[in-house]
Amino acid sequence: MRRISPRELFANPAGIAGIAIGWLAFCLLVWLYGESPRAMAALLFEGTWGTSYGAGQVLFKATPLLFTGVAVDLALRAGLFNIGAEGQLAVASLVAGVVGARLPAGTPAIVALPVVLAAAMAAGAAWALVPALLKGRFGAHEVISTIMMNRIADGAVGLALGAGGLALAGSVRTADVVPGARMPRLEAWWPSLRGSAASFALAFALLATALVTTSYKRTRFGRELGLIGQNARAMSAEKVPVRRRLEQALVASGAIAGAASLGTVLGYKGYFEEGLGAGAGFGGLAVALLGRGSAAGLVFAALLFGTLQQGGLAVNAFVPKELMDVLSGVVVCAVALADVRFRAPEPRGSAR
């Protein structure tokens, strides 16, 4: 997958084509529902970036998307397609809720937050370990194994909450996490965002994006992943431990996906409930495909899809909010097709 720099973000023809086709699809779908595309676009903007509350909600929805987008992008760097971010986030969110609730009530934030975050990332990494070992040891395709793990995660989380006794009696949620494990809301520093669910988990998501994308060029691990993604056979001939790197890439991807629970469990609800964060893992696929390996691209893509999610609620009185889910899929498909159309020919024999 060809990478672009932040400077190329808006000069990239595939990205521009995807957004343009997405806009045309929006106009067509809205028109088919008998509404004015211009009026719906204005309403969408008013419900998102047109108010401080709407902007805060966009930032809130973009936070887990950015985490999972970075997670998927890391795997893509090595030529792997981690479809399992959805299940990794679900399991990690459950662990974050349980660990956060069972800490001593007076645990300070400087201790509670790192402990809960470490537990969540470890859970996400552990859930990605099975596909990683299947890929590295047996050559199993990661798309199939990660989809399988998503299905198992759905059942495992429900079983743990119910029969496992992790949920409060008569509910599908865990107990509240201790106060020290709560992620502060942005409204504490920016009162204009009052009422929105945006939290400082966004800062952690931006930090993760910067660290991971910088590591692609600044660390041996990151450079090797990129080269393996281009031609694994050649890297194996150069004595690079390809199988081990592929396993490490999937496990690291799962850990980052698990960190998305910062925005949902710790920054929003303060507990885990069944279904919390659902869709963010699959949304990360769209963010990674549109972001194309650059920090600026990933942030832009997360904000775009966060805007569509919040915008769906703003226009729901006139058109179904699911229209925005369709629109997100159209943008991703358009970017993928346009990328094939505009991509420069690759040398014969190079790995894709």
Q: What is the pLDDT of residue 209?
A: 97
* CB-neighbour burial class of residue 151 (10 A; exposed 0-12, middle 13-18, buried 19+): exposed
Here the tokens at position 254 are: 């799962």
With bands split at pLDDT 50, 70 and 90, how would you rate the model's confidence at 343? low
Residues 6 or more apart whose CB falls under 8 angstroms from that of 218 comprise: none
Q: What is the pLDDT of residue 324?
A: 87
Q: What is the pLDDT of residue 127?
A: 98
With bands split at pLDDT 50, 70 and 90, how would you rate the model's confidence at 2? very low
Left, alpha or beta for 5 (phi > 0: left; psi -120 to 50: alpha)?
beta
Residue 9 has pLDDT above 90, yes or no: no
**Residue 166 contacts residue 94 (beta carbons within 8 Å):** yes
Distance between start and end Cα atoms, the chain? 7
How is the chain split into domains, by residue range?
Answer: 64-306
Q: What is the pLDDT of residue 345?
A: 52
Sequential DSSP letters for 149-177: HHHHHHHHHHHHHTTT--SPTTSSBPPPP
Residue 59 has pLDDT above 50, yes or no: yes
* CB-neighbour burial class of residue 105 (10 A; exposed 0-12, middle 13-18, buried 19+): exposed
Residue 115 has pLDDT above 60, yes or no: yes
Torsion of Cα atoms, 292 then 297 then 298 then 304, to 10°? -120
Strand partners, 273: 173
Cα–Cα dist 3/190, whole Å: 35
* CB-neighbour burial class of residue 249 (10 A; exposed 0-12, middle 13-18, buried 19+): buried
Mean pLDDT value across the chain: 90
Residue listed under structure tokens 């358009």: 334
User: What are 135-192's pLDDT values in tens digits?
Assistant: 999 999 999 999 999 999 999 999 999 999 999 998 999 999 999 999 999 998 999 9
Q: How far is CA 306 from the centre of its chain?
A: 11
User: What are 33-46's pLDDT values in tens digits?
Assistant: 899 999 999 999 99
User: What are 184-234's pLDDT values in tens digits?
Assistant: 999 989 999 999 999 999 999 999 999 999 999 999 999 999 999 999 999
CATH T-level fold of 64-306: ABC transporter involved in vitamin B12 uptake, BtuC (1.10.3470)
Cα–Cα dist 167/158, whole Å: 10
Greatest Cα pair distance, the chain, in angstroms, is: 62
With bands split at pLDDT 50, 70 and 90, how would you rate the model's confidence at 10? very low
Within 10 A of 313 (CB to CB), how many other CB atoms are there?
16
pTM greater than the 0.85 cutoff? yes
Within 10 A of 4 (CB to CB), how many other CB atoms are there?
17
Q: What is the pLDDT of residue 74?
A: 97
Residues 6 or more apart whose CB falls under 8 angstroms from that of 62 comprise: 202, 302, 303, 305, 306, 307
Within 10 A of 33 (CB to CB), how many other CB atoms are there?
12
DSSP 196: S
Q: What is the pLDDT of residue 336?
A: 73
Here the tokens at position 209 are: 């994006």
Highest mean pLDDT among 92-101, 191-200, 272-281: 92-101
Residue 335 has pLDDT above 90, yes or no: no
